[in-house]
């Protein structure tokens, strides 16, 4: 299992995170389609963070599970997003849902906990 925290505050942080994610996936000898889906998911999650107007760094916890019985990738972040009905937020959530196999979003008073999982294989 490989765990990494990607701190997002600007678009460059998302690009750097995608590069690190692709490197982890390549090290596992997984198919390029896995890297494409994973970077699409990370980009959508990053867009949610950038659209949250947060002035702080928001961590995305990235876990690459390379166990042979259940390989996959998990992305988890917590952010304050009081207006989830904005079109750009809805579009990013839809993209995140399309790129992942399982998406859980829990909302409490504007605080979102977002957990996304991609199955490999």
Count how many domains the chain has. 1
* Cα–Cα distance measured from residue 35 to residue 91, given in angstroms and rounded to the nearest whole number: 21
Which residue(s) pair with 5 in the sheet? 61
Q: Output the pTM of the full model.
A: 0.90
Q: Domain holding 111: CATH number?
A: 3.30.565.10
Residues 36-59 have pLDDT tens digits of 999 999 999 999 898 887 778 999
Range of the domain at 9: 2-119
pLDDT of amino acid 59: 94
């Amino acid at each position: 299992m490989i765990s990494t925290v990607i701190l997002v505050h600007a678009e460059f942080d998302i690009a750097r995170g995608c590069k690190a994610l692709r490197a982890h996936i390549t090290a596992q000898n997984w198919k390029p389609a896995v890297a494409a889906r994973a970077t699409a998911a990370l980009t959508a999650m990053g867009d949610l963070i950038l659209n949250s107007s947060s002035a702080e760094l928001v961590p995305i916890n990235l876990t690459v599970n390379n166990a042979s019985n259940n390989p996959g990738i998990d992305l988890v972040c917590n952010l304050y997003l009081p207006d989830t009905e904005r079109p750009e937020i809805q579009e990013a959530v839809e993209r995140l849902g399309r790129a992942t196999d399982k998406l859980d979003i829990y909302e409490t008073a504007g605080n979102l906990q977002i957990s996304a999982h991609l199955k490999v294989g």
